[in-house]
Amino acid sequence: EDQVTQSPEALRLQEGESSSLNCSYTVSGLRGLFWYRQDPGKGPEFLFTLYSAGEEKEKERLKATLTKKESFLHITAPKPEDSATYLCAVQSTSGGYNKLIFGAGTRLAVHP
């Protein structure tokens, strides 16, 4: 069964304190791995898509990487406005028309 596990569940950082969020996945075949940001009471906002092991994507203070079993979202020198829940999702090559399978997310709080 396709599955996504994110860790930690919650993370508290001081402004400027870099860290990484983990997304471990089990799929029969990976079509793509997606990172989203979600603010309270809002829909997920797309950040990155990764398709193959070794691929990396960057956007401002965020960098996403992918291996055959997990993905990391690295946050460099975070600011309070980076506080949000970060969701990881996968698309599997087996079964289903492109549906996303999500993890439970990591709640990030960045304090000044």
Which one among 7, 19, 22, 49 touches another protein, defined by CB under 8 A? Answer: 49
3-state DSSP assignment of residue 9: coil
Distance (Å, rounded) from C-alpha 97 to C-alpha 56?
25
Distance (Å, rounded) from C-alpha 94 to C-alpha 70?
19
Contact between 46 and another protein by CB under 8 A: the answer reads yes
Contact between 40 and another protein by CB under 8 A: the answer reads no
Q: How far is the CB of 49 from another protein (least distance, A)?
A: 6
The amino acid present at 59, given as its one-letter code, is: K
Which one among 17, 45, 56, 58 touches another protein, defined by CB under 8 A? Answer: 45
Closest among 101, 97, 61, 56 to 79, alpha carbons compared: 61
Q: Residues 29, 15: contact at Cβ < 8 Å? A: no
Stretch of 12-20, 65-73, 74-82, 100-108 contacting another protein, by CB under 8 A = 100-108
Write out the binding residues for another protein, residues 68-87 only, by CB under 8 A. Answer: 87
Give the binding site for another protein (CB under 8 A). 4, 31-32, 34, 36, 41-46, 49, 87, 89, 91, 96-105
